[in-house]
């Protein structure tokens, strides 16, 4: 696992390690190495798969694993730098013996430049860290440079789904994307952004949000 915490675009401020790994999760890290990718593996992945979905910050992997199980003809790349959740996800990948998923166990911004242009069908970014304080807004993942990068790697008509339950981040995301004319917000009515899209599964953070009486929103932006 890469433990560097800087990258070309800034610094990674989230957690990379939490509490001590359980025996099972240590076992998953040891045995799940076949799922972990390096930059050098990307050429083969992009040459052999046409329909690739990228999930950024998969957390405990609920959406990533359920999506991969439901859509065996799609290929999934999951990115998350947090060791404890990566271990949990590897454990599930091993348990279900999934063949259509690989994991980048690091900051997504450290690999995005290596993705070919027009190569990704769809991106999921579910409940990214909100960094609500104004002084921390540069830590939010959705920034102009990030939007430009994902625009390049998405296929024509490809889309990004961003879920958040945080009002400050909702406004931030809408403002950033609406300023970028090459993306179209697909919502026709409030129903479209108030309910989880049919191709997304409930995650730990969505459950937490509902328990705490917050209202998640799902924004889908399509590359024009
Ligand atoms: C609030 S959690 C949400 C997890 C999951 N998507 C869910 O809905 O339950 C945010 C996740 O994004 C990951 N993350 C934060 N910054 C990231 C980055 N630069 N690249 C990839 N993942 C990142 C964190 O490690 C964490 O697992």
- Please give the structure tokens belonging to residue 126: 């579910």
Q: Which of 8, 11, 14 to mutate to test the pocket of ligand 1 (most atoms within 8 A of CB)?
A: 14
User: What pLDDT score was predicted for residue 35?
Assistant: 97
Exposed e or buried b per residue across 110-128, where buried means at least 16 C-beta atoms within 10 angstroms of its C-beta: bbbeebeeebbbbbbbbbb
pLDDT digits (tens, 9 = 90+) for 81-98: 999 999 999 999 999 999
Residue 5 — very low, low, confident or very high, per pLDDT cuts 50/70/90? very low
Asked if residue 216 has pLDDT above 90, the reply is: yes
Query: Do 119 and 153 meet the contact criterion of CB atoms below 8 Å apart?
Result: yes
Residue 125 CA to ligand 1 centre (angstroms):
8
Q: Which domains does the chain have, with CATH numbers?
A: 6-223 (3.40.50.150)
Query: Do 65 and 89 meet the contact criterion of CB atoms below 8 Å apart?
Result: yes
Q: Which atom of ligand 1 is nearest to the CA of 129?
A: 1
Asked if residue 215 has pLDDT above 70, the reply is: yes
pLDDT digits (tens, 9 = 90+) for 178-207: 999 999 999 999 999 999 999 999 999 999
pLDDT digits (tens, 9 = 90+) for 114-127: 999 999 999 999 99
User: What pLDDT score was predicted for residue 10?
Assistant: 53
Q: Among residues 79, 165, 163, 75, which one has the least CA distance to residue 121?
A: 75
pLDDT digits (tens, 9 = 90+) for 32-80: 999 999 999 999 999 999 899 999 999 999 999 999 999 999 999 999 9
Q: Which residues sit with their C-beta closer than 6 Å to ligand 1?
A: 12, 14, 56-59, 79-82, 85, 107-109, 126-129, 141, 203-205
Determine the Cα–Cα distance for residues 209 and 166; give it in Å rounded to an integer: 9
Between 3 and 132, whose confidence is greater? 132
How far, in Å, are 17, 122, 176 from residue 144 at the CA level?
A: 28, 19, 7
Residue 60 CA to ligand 1 centre (angstroms):
9
- Please give the structure tokens belonging to residue 55: 């999930």
Share the mean pLDDT of the chain. 93
Q: Among residues 177, 176, 156, which one has the least CA distance to residue 224?
A: 156
Residues of the chain with pLDDT > 90: what percent? Answer: 89
Burial class, 213, CB count within 10 angstroms (exposed 0-12 / middle 13-18 / buried 19+): exposed
Asked if residue 11 has pLDDT above 80, the reply is: no
Chain center to CA of 19:
22
What is the full DSSP assignment across 171-217? HHHHHHHHHSTTEEE--SSHHHHHS--TT----HHHHHHHHTT---E
């Amino acid at each position: 696992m890469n433990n560097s915490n800087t990258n070309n675009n800034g610094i990674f401020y989230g957690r990379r390690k939490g509490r001590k790994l359980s025996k099972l999760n240590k076992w998953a890290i040891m045995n799940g190495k076949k799922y972990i990718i390096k930059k050098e593996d990307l050429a083969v992945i992009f040459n052999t798969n046409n329909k690739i979905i990228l999930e950024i910050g998969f957390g405990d992997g609920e959406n990533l694993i359920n999506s991969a199980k439901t859509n065996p003809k799609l290929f999934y790349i999951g990115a998350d730098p947090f060791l404890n959740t990566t271990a949990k996800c590897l454990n599930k990948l091993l348990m279900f013996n999934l063949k259509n998923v690989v994991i980048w166990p690091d900051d997504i911004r450290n690999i995005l430049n290596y993705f070919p242009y027009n190569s990704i069908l769809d991106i999921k970014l579910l409940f990214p860290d909100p960094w609500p304080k104004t002084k921390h807004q540069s830590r939010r993942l959705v920034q102009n440079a990030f939007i430009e990068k994902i625009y390049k790697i998405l296929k024509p008509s490809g889309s990004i789904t961003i879920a958040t339950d945080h009002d400050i981040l909702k406004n931030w995301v809408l403002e950033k994307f609406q300023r970028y004319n090459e993306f179209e917000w697909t919502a026709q009515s409030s129903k479209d952004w108030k309910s989880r899209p049919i191709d997304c599964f409930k995650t730990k953070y969505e459950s937490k949000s509902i328990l705490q009486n917050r209202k998640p929103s799902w924004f889908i932006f399509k590359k024009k």
